[in-house]
Structure 1
Amino acid sequence: MTQPQTQAVRPKVTYIKGDLVLFRDVERFWLGLPGHTFVGRVERSWTHADTRKVLYDLVELSANRHRAGIDPDYMRLLPAADAMHDIDSAPLSEPDAGAMTPAAVAWLRQHLGKDSSALPARP
């Protein structure tokens, strides 16, 4: 007996200028070439005259290169919550600041300076 195949359903997302996205150069991906996935910033959206599909122009952040006509089927939003997870989950009760990620330590130093009285008391 064969198992029914399931297919992931991607919710419809509309990107706006300034959104950070992960996007894939689909041709490089299907050809098995390296360097097919990039982080980009949305610059604008536009509708293709023939297909009426909404496409996006991005700036590839690693190379500061403009990429035009990116299909949103090959884009995914990079949520701020994921980027800030290490800070949000930093072990503030750890006596060793080295146990925290550098980003969490930097955030704490910036917000607390030399005054550690704002830290919560240890239970």
Structure 2
Amino acid sequence: MTHLQTQVTRPAATYTQGDVVLFRDAERFWLGQSGHTFVGRVVRAWRQAYTGKVLYDLVELSGNRHRSGIDPDYMRLLPPADAMRDVDTAPLSEPDTGAMTPAAVAWLRQQLAQDAGLPVPRA
């Protein structure tokens, strides 16, 4: 009897400085510890001297904590389109702005202020 083995392959991703990524600390994850997944911004890419593998340095967005030597196998890009989906799908025809998310309302106010030539208020 022949056994077929399936293997999932994902394309090798490269990240650039400023990319927002999701990172999972595999060791903490497999040990069942909390705090194993966080969102970070790529600060730098570098090549490990012994293996030649490209690793990344990240800064956690929730605590400004620096993480060094992150393996890209445990990182996933967080596309801007996903972060802005609520703005892109805001129900602009709704008379009630409560139906919009706060991000959509903020973006709409900024656009209206720019169109009117008024300065955009800073939060």
RMSD: 1.9
Question: 1-side partners of 2:83 and 2:54: how far apart?
Answer: 27
**What do the CA deviations read for 1:11-65 (whole angstroms, capped 9, x no partner)?**
2111011111000111100101111001111111111111111100111111111
Counterpart in 2 of 1:96? 96
SS in 2 for 1:94: coil
Letter in 2 for 1:74: Y
Q: Which TM-score applies when normalising by structure 2?
A: 0.84
Runs of 4+, deviation exceeding 2 Å: 3-9
Identify unmatched segments of 5+ residues in structure 2: 117-123
Counterpart in 2 of 1:112? 112
Identify unmatched segments of 5+ residues in structure 1: 117-123
SS in 2 for 1:22: strand
Matches within 5 A, 1:1-123: 6-113=6-113
Q: Which TM-score applies when normalising by structure 1?
A: 0.84
Q: How many residues align?
A: 113
% identical aligned pairs = 75
